[in-house]
Structure 1
C-alpha cells in the first residue's frame, strides 16, 4: 500500500478550502491510501475549522503568516515525516481541479517521473488577467532558458512529488516557491513530466502575488538558487 498525502497550504481560504478537500479522490486506486494535510499559514478566519469539518487527517498550524514558500516547505517536509510515498501540493483557492489528482500522480506511480507539473497552458486558458498570463509566460520562459528543458507552466500551484524528491528538495525563501523549487529539483537530476489540466480563475479571496513582491523577492531568490550549484 502506497501513501499519498495531499498538501494544501492555506491562508484565509475559508470560502474555498472545503470544496478543494471535497474534490480530492480518496479511493481512485486500490493500493493507494490518500490523506490530506492542511498547512494553516497564520489564517485569521475560519480556514482551519472549515478544513477540520471537511475531514482532513492532518493540520499543521503557523501562529503567524510566514508566506507561501514557508508553508509549502513545511507541508512537504511533514508529508515526508508522515511516511508519504508520494505527495501532491495544490492551492486552497479552488483554481486547480483536485479531482484530476489521479492523472497528475500517474507518471510517478508508473515510474515514469519523479516530479510532475500540472500545466494550465497545455490547454486553452480562459479568463486569466493579462498581467498574470504575461507573468506566467515570462517566469516559465526564464526557467526554460536556465534549465534548458521545455516547460509549459513553471508557475502552477498543482504539483506531485516522489518520496525521494520530498527528501531532497529545498525551497530557499518564504515568499513563493514556484521557480526555485523546479530549478532545485531538476538540477538534482530528477525526471520531470507535465500533465495537462483544466483551469478556472479564482472565485473567492485574493491572491497575495504582487509585481513588487516578485521584484523584491523572486528575482533575488532565482539568482541565489542558480548560484548554489
Structure 2
C-alpha cells in the first residue's frame, strides 16, 4: 500500500481551495491511499473553514504569515511525519489540474524518478501574462544552466516527491521555494523528471509573482549554489 499525501500551501484562498481539494482524485488505485493536507500560512479569511467543508484530512497552522517557502517546508515535513510514501504539492489557486495527480505520481511509483515537475511549457501556453511568462522562462533557463540538465518549467506549483526526497530536501528561503528546492534536490543526486500538464489562467486571488520577486529570489539561488555537501549535511 502506498500512502500519497497531497500538500496544499494556502494564504487567503477561500475562493478556490475547496475546488482544488474536491478535484484531488481519491481512488487512484487499490494500492494507493490518498490524503489531503492544507498548510494555512496565517490566512485571515475562511480558507480553513472552506478546506474543512471540502473534506481535508490534515491542517497545519501558521499563526502568522511566514512565506510560501516556509509553508511548503512545513507541509512536506508533516507529510513525511505522517508516513507518506510520496507527496504531491499543488497550489491552492486552481491554476494547476489536480486531476493530473495520478499521471504525475507514476514515475515515482514505478521507481523511475524521485522528483517530478508538472510542466506547463511542454505544450503551447495561452493567456499567461507576459511578465510571468518571461520570469518563468528566465528562472527555468537559469536552473537548467546551473544543473546542466534541461527542464521546461522550473517555477511550477505542482510537484511530486518520493519519501527519500521528503526526508532529505531543504528549503533555505522562507519567501519562496521554487528555484532553491529543485537545485537542492537534484544536487543531492536525486532523479528528476517532468510530465506535461495544461495551463489554466488563474481566476481568483492575486499572483505571488511580481518584478520585486527577482530581487528576493536571486540571492537565495546564489546561497544554495555556494553550499557544499558538508554544509548541507550539517544544516
Fold conserved between structures, TM > 0.5: yes
Structure 2 match to 1:75: 75
Structure 1 match to 2:105: 105
Q: State whether structure 2 residue 206 is matched by structure 1 residue 206.
A: yes
1:53 Cα offset (Å):
0.5
Separation in 2, partners of 1:19, 1:38: 13
1:124 Cα offset (Å):
1.1
Separation in 1, partners of 2:87, 2:62: 21
Structure 2 match to 1:226: 225
1:208 Cα offset (Å):
2.4
The equivalences for 1:128-207 within 5 A come to 128-207=128-207
Structure 1 match to 2:91: 91
Length, aligned pairs only? 228
Deviations 1:56-113 (A, max 9, x none): 1100001111110000000000000000000000000000000000000000001100
Gaps of 5+ in 1: none
1:212 Cα offset (Å):
1.2
Q: Which of structure 1's runs of 4+ aligned residues deviate more than 6 A?
A: none
Separation in 1, partners of 2:25, 2:186: 28
Separation in 2, partners of 1:137, 1:213: 14
Q: Cα RMSD over matched residues?
A: 0.6
1:209 Cα offset (Å):
2.2
Structure 2 match to 1:12: 12
Gaps of 5+ in 2: 229-235
Q: State whether structure 2 residue 29 is matched by structure 1 residue 29.
A: yes
Structure 1 match to 2:127: 127
Partner of 1:89, secondary structure, is: strand
The equivalences for 1:35-46 within 5 A come to 35-46=35-46
Separation in 2, partners of 1:21, 1:74: 18
The equivalences for 1:58-69 within 5 A come to 58-69=58-69
Deviations 1:177-216 (A, max 9, x none): 000000000000000010000110110100122211321x
Separation in 2, partners of 1:125, 1:47: 29
